[in-house]
């Protein structure tokens, strides 16, 4: 399953919408979240992503979501709050979909 976040900015006023968009990911064992369009993301939106991670991580047969982040600013944001430690992050959707190194086991 590939979910593309078309919105450029995710903040307190849109994080509920983000949660709704991510809901299908909860029910799919393998998911790629394409954040190529994202230019801004605030802590309330990051929190929604972490909640999604937590819901998936203990489900048998569910892999950790793969994130596609091309913006250097958003990659920096994820690094500052250590979220690059829990998610495999790719520059392009093609890389995320073709990477076979990620097993279906959740990240530690």
Partner 1 sequence: VCSLGLLWRFEAQDARSAVRANAEYRATLRNHAGWPLDEHAGGVVFAELVSNVVRHAPGRIQIDLECDGTDVILSVADDGPGFDFTAPAAPGALSEGGRGLFLVSQYATALHVARRNEGGSKVRATLRSLPTPA
Largest CA distance in the chain: 36
Does position 19 bind partner 1 by CB under 8 A?
A: no
Does position 100 bind partner 1 by CB under 8 A?
A: no
Question: Among 75, 51, 81, 79, which residue's Cα sits nearest to residue 65?
Answer: 51
The single residue among 26, 42, 97, 106 that binds partner 1, judged by CB under 8 A, is 42
Question: How far, in Å, are 15, 25, 32, 99 from residue 37 at the CA level?
Answer: 16, 19, 14, 21
Piece of the chain touching partner 1 by CB under 8 A; list 20-28, 29-37, 77-85, 93-101: 77-85
Decide: 96 and 65 in contact? Cβ < 8 Å: no
Does position 46 bind partner 1 by CB under 8 A?
A: yes
- Positions touching partner 1 (CB under 8 A) are 11-13, 39-40, 42-44, 46-47, 50-51, 53-54, 73, 77, 80-83, 85-86
């Amino acid at each position: 399953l590939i979910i593309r976040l078309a919105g450029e900015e995710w903040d307190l006023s849109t994080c509920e919408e983000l949660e709704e968009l991510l809901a299908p990911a909860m029910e799919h064992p393998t998911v790629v979240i394409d954040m190529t369009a994202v230019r801004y993301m605030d802590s309330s939106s990051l929190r929604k992503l972490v909640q999604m991670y937590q819901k998936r991580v203990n489900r048998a047969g569910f892999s950790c979501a793969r994130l596609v982040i091309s913006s250097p600013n958003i990659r920096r944001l994820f690094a500052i709050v250590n979220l690059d430690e829990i998610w495999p992050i790719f520059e392009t959707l093609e890389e995320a979909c073709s990477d076979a190194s990620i097993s279906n086991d959740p990240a530690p």
